[in-house]
Structure 1
Amino acid sequence: MKKLVYVVLFLTFLACKEQVKPVEKQEEQKEETVVLNDFPEELRKVFDAHGGLNIWEKQRTLVFDLPKPDARETHTVDLISRKDKITTTNFSIGFDGQHVWLLDMDKSYNGDAVFYHNLMFYFYAMPFVLADDGINYGATEDLKFEGVSYPGIRISYDNDVGASSKDEYYLHYHPETFQMQWLGYTVTYRSGEVSDNVKWIRYADWMDINGIVLPKSITWHNYEGKTIKEEKSTVTFENVELSTQKKGATFYQKPEEAAYVTKE
């Protein structure tokens, strides 16, 4: 009789143990899934057309080169902390999480490091940077170009979000594929005043990096309001890398010879 009781207890223990395992597995899967309920349905489809937020959110480090006549720039960004670093043969710019620094021993850099340090990252990492916190989504009229009407989403920011919270963006996507096609944006960084001058970039050249669809090049166009005109200039991106690994603890820190810079 005792043996029978032990057998029953043992089988009961195994049954309970087997029932617990699926619950733990479901919890792990739930933690790895990005919640998309706060985004407009159309924006969710745009994210999906570019590989999906679930894959993007697993990436930690983005690297890309910008070939320029004077010096090739290598941009490195921590996608979680948003620390960044730009290196060239002549100068380096970095953001350590709190402050922007500039290493420019021969005084060859004549731009605004605070404005520039993450500028190209935001243009390059579209549409995924539009999933950041502090963003508001609204409606905007279609953008028409060469006989096609591209639906759009208006993006604005909460106060004190980023360096220019009064900036606005207009993402326009293909009506059938939902792939991003155009980005309109205003610049309020230096004035601090709301602007109605919307500049336009065409996104029509893409590449697949680890399942994420990112630009191979982007092209600024001349414009009159929302009337898009001829091409103005193109920026290409080379040697693109996406990694789930982060850089070492000192990678984004200010070098001893560098100096912190403030908004001009």
Structure 2
Amino acid sequence: MKKILLTLLAGVLLISCKSENKKEALPLQTEIAPVEQIDLSIYPQAYQDVLATHGGLAQWSAMQSLTFKMPKENGDEVHTTDLKTRDVVIETEKYQIGSHNGKVWLAQDSTYYPKNRARFYHNLMFYFYTMPFILADDGIVYSETASLEKDGISYPGIKIAYQSNVGDSPDDEYILYYHPESKKMEWLAYTVTRGQGSKSTDFHFIKYNKWQEVNGLLLPEELTWYKTENNLPTEARGKPRIFTNVDIDASHMGADFYTIPDNGVYVDE
């Protein structure tokens, strides 16, 4: 009889342990990662439509790092950017340009790259490449503007200006032009005011020729700069700029990746 009672007691303890283990494991099986809530109502409806067509602002905001290769005649460039801190590293065979905590550095074994251009260039291609998402940054003012008439298509436009003291060049202005049917971004008009001390009314134009899908986002594959006449694009200026080996994901490179190398110098010192 004692043996029977001991056997029953062991069985009850075994069932109880199994039940407790199952309760402890349940939260791990049903846990769902929180989704960032984004208030899209702060953006114009037209811009919301463009963002949705390109994969959505929520998907963009979930990403941590971006890398792409830009083939060039004088040597390929590999650009890597932390999408949260905006730290950047541009790697080539002859030099490196980077930024860490807002301080831009240049590393090279000779005087191949001019030091006075490093700050201007360090995040230039990042901004052009991350259209249209980069135009959702804080401190931006949106307004309506006239459509761009080009090749028989009327492209609606969204004008972008910056609040004072936002970014390196708060006086720069942009116009995003999108296809009226597909809602894809097609053109970018922009001014360059760095070093001029005042706003410019001279717009440059980029045609976003091709897009590629990477991790649920439509990102540029080809950009072409255009000649202008009367502040309107006329014909292509040179060959398209190609982007390959694109990677955008929710992991990051780590802060050490962006720190200044031993042979680097800060460009503003």
**Where on the TM-score scale, by shorter chain, does this alignment land: which range?**
0.7 to 0.9
Q: Which runs of 5+ in 2 are unaligned?
A: 1-26
SS at match of 1:45: helix
Paired position in structure 2 for 1:50: 54
Q: From 163, 167, 190, give the equivalent of 2:195.
A: 190
Report what 2:124 is aligned to.
119
Instruction: State the match for 1:93 in structure 2.
Output: 97
TM-superposed CA distance for 1:165, in Å, is 0.3
Partners of 1:219 and 1:240 lie apart in 2 by: 18
TM-score by length of 1: 0.87
Instruction: Tell me the residue number matched to 1:247.
Output: 253
Q: Which residue in the other structure is 2:11 paired with?
A: none
Where do residues 105-144 of structure 1 align in structure 2 (5 Å cutoff)? Answer: 105-110=109-114, 112-144=117-149
What SS does the corresponding residue of 1:251 show, helix, strand or coil?
helix
Query: Aligned letter for 2:109?
Result: M
* Matching residue's letter, 1:260: Y
Report Cα offsets for 1:15-73 as digits up to 9, x if no partner. xxxxxx9xxx99x75x5232211100000000001000111111100000111111110
Q: Is the 8 A contact 1:102 1:261 kept in 2?
A: yes
1:78 alignment partner in structure 2: 82
| Residue 97 (structure 1) shift | 1.7
Give, in whole Å, the separation in 2 of the partners of 1:88 and 1:176: 40
The answer for unaligned runs of 5 or more in structure 1 is 1-20
Which residue of structure 1 lines up, in the alignment, with residue 215 of structure 2?
Answer: 210
Structure 1 position 107, deviation (Å): 1.1
2:167 pairs, out of 153, 158, 162, with 162
Question: 1:258: which partner in 2?
Answer: 264
Whether the aligned pair in 2 keeps the contact of 1:143 and 1:226 (CA below 8 Å) is: no
Q: Tell me which stretches of 4 or more aligned residues in structure 1 moved more than 4 Å.
A: none
Q: Is the 8 A contact 1:198 1:225 kept in 2?
A: no
- Report the RMSD for the aligned CA atoms in angstroms: 1.7
Whole-angstrom CA distance in 1 between matches of 2:81 and 2:197? 26
Q: Report the Cα offset of residue 225 of structure 1.
A: 2.6
Task: Indicate whether 1:199 and 2:195 are aligned.
Answer: no
> What amino acid maps onto 1:73 in structure 2?
E
The CA deviation at 1:88 is: 0.5
